[in-house]
Homo-oligomer: A and B are copies of this chain.
Amino acid sequence: MPKIPPARPGMDLADVDTPALLLDLDAFERNLQRMRESLAGRNIMLRPHAKSHKCPQIALRQIALGAVGVCCQKVSEAEAMVEGGVPDVLIANEVVGMAKLRRLAALAKQAKVTVCADDAGNVKDIDAAAHEFGVVIDVLVEVNVGANRCGVEPGEPALKIAQAVAACRNLRYAGLQAYQGAAQHFRSVGERRTAIAAAVDAVKTTLALTAKAGLPRGKVTGAGTGTYLFEAASTVYDELQAGSYIFMDADYARNDWTESGIPRFEHSLFVYATVMSRTREDIAIVDAGLKASSVDSGMPRVADFPQAEFLKASDEHGVIRMNGSSGFNLGDKIKLIPGHCDPTVNLYDHYVCVRGGKVEALWPITARGAVW
């Protein structure tokens, strides 16, 4: 991490050095409120995904507005959240290997910790770690509800893992992890609704079997920003795991939201960049490339200049075709909307939080690089 930060509180936005990760606090706070309002009066809890922001300061703001806790993907991410004051963390993912499971069990002494499983051998390992540390760990069975990533198939295979959990002395069977990740970026509302309807059916099939087997119902948790109101309307989900709603990246913005009921979240996260070379007609080179904005889900968009097009990124450069826009003089600073927020946030050590053209705070991204 560079010793000299790109900004100080009180500084004008125009003086922030680049590239920097800007958080527009007004837009961010409106997104938090919109999420709260969209769930008001529904019998469902929000457990936002912290893999999007990796920042306890944001997690605590989400909890202050009613979230029950956060999700994490990795033990090290959960460690950072607990150290930052978050009292309840669900690792919405499998944790494999005794080294990680011992850290998980140690963490369960400090906070409420839940983890997912999709394998009977792994369940035994979690139990052994819990025993070693003298804790009881809540375990959700991850069900493959269409994303085809982790998770056992719904029905009998899921029941078997649930029974394996229930048979362990140091574990508590806590319900089902049922996240349809693939559906989040299906562009049409119809495709997303159909995918979630299938996920809900898979959950219901599994719940019927676990009930028949005498297991407690536990909770059902899942959903992302692209679909969360469909899961909320299903009545089988108890917790929603949306994360990206706070930032709204360029790729999510390409979804159709019409008649989804999901509010129009605003872009609140930007990569601030400087025009650093202007030797060719209609082309501006900015100082933000692959190390400043992840391009896995497409190039960033140029904020405030709808005609301008971010053509390509190399390690430290971005090539923008201005398409006749002015405002790209050498040294001008512009804002980019990242293609994909989560891996972009993971490149930075701080959010430069901005309101009314001034830097209000620097929030450390304490779980940056927390991949293990």
Contacts and interface: CB of A to CB of B under 8 A. Distances in A.
A250 to B, nearest CB: 15
Interface stretch (A57-65, A188-196, A206-214, A313-321): A313-321
Contacts of A149: 277, 285, 314, 317, 319
B51 A316 contact: yes
Given A73-B316, A295-B296, A331-B96, A279 B347 contact: no
A249 interface: no
A368 to B, nearest CB: 7
B343 A369 contact: no
| Copies of the polypeptide in the assembly | 2
B151 A97 contact: no
Nearest to A367: B2
A275 B372 contact: no
Nearest to A52: B315
A239 B368 CA distance: 36
Contacts of A6: 372
A278 B288 CA distance: 38
Interface string A283-294: 001011011101
Interface stretch (A15-23, A130-138, A253-261): A15-23
The contact size tier of chain A is 35 or more
B51 A119 contact: no
How would you classify the secondary structure of chain A's contact residues: helix, strand, loop or mixed? Answer: loop
Nearest to A348: B369
Nearest to A152: B279
Given A315-B73, A371-B316, A372-B6, A119 B17 contact: no
Interface stretch (A30-38, A74-82, A302-310, A353-361): A74-82
B181 A314 contact: yes
A264 interface: no
B2 A330 contact: no
Given A51-B315, A122-B330, 11 more contacts: A1-B368, A2-B370, A17-B100, A18-B97, A96-B331, A118-B279, A144-B280, A152-B279, A288-B371, A290-B343, A291-B346
Which 9 interchain pairs have the tightest Cβ spacing? A150-B277, A2-B76, A73-B316, A96-B276, A290-B343, A17-B372, A2-B370, A19-B371, A291-B346
